[in-house]
Structure 1
């Protein structure tokens, strides 16, 4: 069980596998008013940066689940590095359908809503692990501006314009699902740069170290095209945020 190899290569040096930066996760943790001992579940946790830093800074305990064997191992190393391995654990598994044995205070899926077939399905999945009155966190892209054509949407790595909503529509959709939006922290273009541009140096170093690898042609092709694609499409059209939801009374 693992994610496609290209992601394990391109994002192998990432601590955060989405357009958030460390200061954004710090802002989010503070905004949620996390209490020591709060229990957090993170589905699709990547390399565990959110759980590890919140364990260090707020005293939370929690569990992260991710399909990447590499990222799961990096998460364990990060927990050891920050001295919080006794507070958080990381499971190498498919997060789709994962339900915690013990109800949690915060149930999160920060940038992997495909595990539930989209935002609505992921919220339903997270709600199964949540205690009454708890908070759901969903990280999701949205259109900063609507792409003028389907080709532009595909340049943003969407299948179609209909894959994502404008921010007001996304916010309105949470109410339609029966949830109050109680907080949000949005990424910015610098966050997109840190997420996307950091891959380029990683891929270049990987190519230098693996000149005869059978996968090198795919990495080379991506490095040839990704910088221009990012600045032309993703950076201009894509937004991304983490939205905190509570079920309506």
Structure 2
């Protein structure tokens, strides 16, 4: 997106702050992350110190669903958490309240790669209803209906999905090895035993993921 040094960013539901911290390091931006999880925010602040960007970024504990920047920002982001605005439309409107005219909105959102054949597939892809996600052309059309131009997008392919998901299996296995007597160990053992086949049967085939850069018309 050709970010100029000093660009200001707001990241809603920022999680562990990885995007904000690495962009501060790599592109010399400043920014604020907002998240409701104190665990994630502790990780985000530690990451900012690790990357030597603690003076460039700030992390706020709070409800991202009603957070508006004190001053307009150049980039407003919500990656994988559009539930904070009750969906894509509400999240776009929320970000617009913080982004300056001509600024960029970043939305990370799943979409259907293939039409899910039944409710089992829908729920295995972390949706409650088929309508919770849209096919990619419909999602892009929705952005237009919301008065936005799509100016960039980055889509996961199946290989990058594999790398993302499989890293979770490795972490579960390492956690089980280190915590065999934990009260959650049996539950996590079942998760590890079933997750790979579940992923291959459903998410890998049916669920897509993208981050979309938008500008208001």
CA positional deviation for 1:169? 0.5
2:186 is aligned to: 217
State how far apart, in whole Å, the 2-side matches of 1:231 and 1:66 are: 31
**Distance in 2 separating the partners of 1:175 and 1:105:** 20
Q: Distance in 1 between matches of 2:75 and 2:163?
A: 26
Q: With the length of structure 2 as denominator, give the TM-score of the two structures.
A: 0.95
1:130 and 2:99 aligned: yes
Are 2:122 and 1:161 aligned?
A: no
Structure 2 match to 1:227: 196
Looking at structure 2, the residues matched to 69 and 231 of structure 1 have their Cα atoms a distance apart, in angstroms, of: 33
Q: TM-score with structure 1 length normalisation?
A: 0.83
Look up the match of 1:241: 210
Give the C-alpha shift of residue 241 in structure 1. 0.6
Counterpart selection for 1:97 from 66, 69, 72: 66
Q: Counterpart of 1:220 in 2: which secondary structure?
A: helix
1:201 paired to 2:170:
yes
Q: State the 1:198 CA deviation.
A: 1.0
Which of 176, 186, 200 matches 2:145? 176
Alignment length (residue pairs): 217
SS of 1:241's equivalent in the other structure is strand
- Using CA pairs under 8 Å that are at least 6 residues apart, name the structure with larger relative contact order, 1 or 2: 1
1:94 to 1:216, Cα distance in 2 relative to 1, 3 A: farther
Cα RMSD after superposing both structures = 1.3
Gap regions ≥5 residues in structure 1: 1-31
Structure-2 residue corresponding to 1:17: none
